Amino acid sequence: IAALCVMATPASAKTYYTFDGHPAVQYYQSDMGYPLMKYIERVEYDRVYDKGNGYGVRLYLTSFGRELISSEQNHYVLYKVTDYVGTRPEWKTDRSYNSVATEILHHTQAGRQTVHIEYYYQDLKWWEKPFYGR
């Protein structure tokens, strides 16, 4: 049974590197398992958590993931992607789940394949706060 559980559980391999002069970590599509690998190319987390500097996550969606999230039937895919982003150990935030999901939705509806999600509410631009909420 233990061997079966290990085989069915996707690996959470991560790669440490430096992004823009500070430490970061990446999770690649090949390590996410099904169905996430259909929606996400990779996710990069800044490992610096200073407020006021705009640190956060860079979410790279596949074309298919972006298409599904921005469609009318987006709830399942949006939930899965937001849940993945928010459950990695590097995720540190004062933002709600709904705030993050709304940001992902708005960016994909605008046609963006890369979504930068700030860790802290105060780091959002003034015009983003009313759309994304706390």
Name, in order, each residue with C-beta under 8 angstroms of 63's C-beta and a sequence gap of 6 or more. Answer: 113
Give Cα separations from 54 to 43, 46, 96, 102, 120 (angstroms): 16, 10, 17, 18, 8
Provide, for the chain, the percentages of residues in helix, strand and coil under a 3-state DSSP scheme, each rounded to the nearest 5.
Answer: 40, 20, 35
Query: The sheet that has 114-118: what strands, in order across it?
Result: 15-19, 22-28, 40-46, 56-61, 114-118
Q: What is the mean pLDDT of the chain?
A: 88
Q: Which of the 8 DSSP states describes residue 125?
A: -
Mean pLDDT value of segment 67-73: 86
Query: Which residues are 22's β-sheet partners?
Result: 19
* Predicted confidence (pLDDT) per residue in 27-48, tens digit: 999 989 899 999 999 999 999 9
Amino acid at 9: T
Mean pLDDT value of segment 5-15: 55
* Predicted confidence (pLDDT) per residue in 110-120, tens digit: 999 899 999 99
Contact predicate 90/20, CB 8 Å: no
